[in-house]
Amino acid sequence: MEKLIRGLVRFRQVELPKRRAMFEQLGAGQDPDTLLLACADSRVVPHLTSSMEPGELFTVRTVGNLIAPAGADGVALGDVSEAAAVEYALLVLNVKDVVVYGHSKCGAMSAALSGKAMTEAPNLMEWLRVATPTMERVKRAELVDHSLPFVEQLSQVNVLQQLDHLRTYRPVAEREDAGELHLHGWWFDVTTGETHVYDSDRGGFVLLDETEAERILSNAVPAPHLTFTD
């Protein structure tokens, strides 16, 4: 906590004077064009690794970058706060892109894989049930990258599974079908600090470098669809 408190004071003394105008402008509102769903893991810092500034990235963070799917009535089959953020991002902020940002060494994926009962953490246990379809998918389906440890394959497949959960929300599905919204599956390697993007044509996650970035931007960003069957 001491580092956090001293960091806030240092930011106020050193960085804030340089960014005063930016913060004054942010007071007028926000206009992000992308919603990013990331894990709560402290090693995942999307604003740092994407060079984004405040106001540019609408971010939702959950344990395991999970989002419960919607039921028939459109209401989340689980915690509704993530779904509320999705609705706000689409219907109020009118974002054009949604990213599920998984990562390596994910504790939630390890916990889901271990299947160990944590009786002292009933909420965590309940939340990890959102990853159950991911577990089932990994067991029966073609995996994304066989060269990776199994838990990392799980975290990559989980990105695709959570994209499918997002598609159960009517505003997401309707806007994607209309070409007004693009969904992306990305995966951050905490050991290298690099981001990999899912490409359905190549059937896996590809390192996002200058070449890949140009390819994505010139192709109007195709939405990732699963290459394996349910």
- Contacting positions for Zn ion (CB under 5 A): 39, 41, 106, 108
In the complex, what is the shortest distance from the CB of residue 138 to Zn ion, in angstroms, rounded to a whole number? 16
212: nearest Cα among 223, 198, 226: 198
Sheet holding 194-199, edge to edge: 58-62, 34-39, 97-103, 182-189, 194-199, 204-207
Nearer to Zn ion, 58 or 188 (CB): 188
How far apart (Å, rounded) are the C-alpha atoms in residues 43 and 58?
Answer: 18
How far apart (Å, rounded) are the C-alpha atoms in residues 16 and 36?
Answer: 26
Nearer to Zn ion, 39 or 208 (CB): 39
In the complex, what is the shortest distance from the CB of residue 130 to Zn ion, in angstroms, rounded to a whole number? 13
In the complex, what is the shortest distance from the CB of residue 44 to Zn ion, in angstroms, rounded to a whole number? 7
Q: Which two tokens stand for residue 44?
A: 């995942």
DSSP 74: S
Name the burial class of residue 159, with classes exposed (0-12), middle (13-18) and buried (19+) by CB atoms within 10 angstroms of its CB.
buried
In the complex, what is the shortest distance from the CB of residue 196 to Zn ion, in angstroms, rounded to a whole number? 15
In the complex, what is the shortest distance from the CB of residue 106 to Zn ion, in angstroms, rounded to a whole number? 3
Nearer to Zn ion, 169 or 188 (CB): 188
Nearer to Zn ion, 7 or 107 (CB): 107
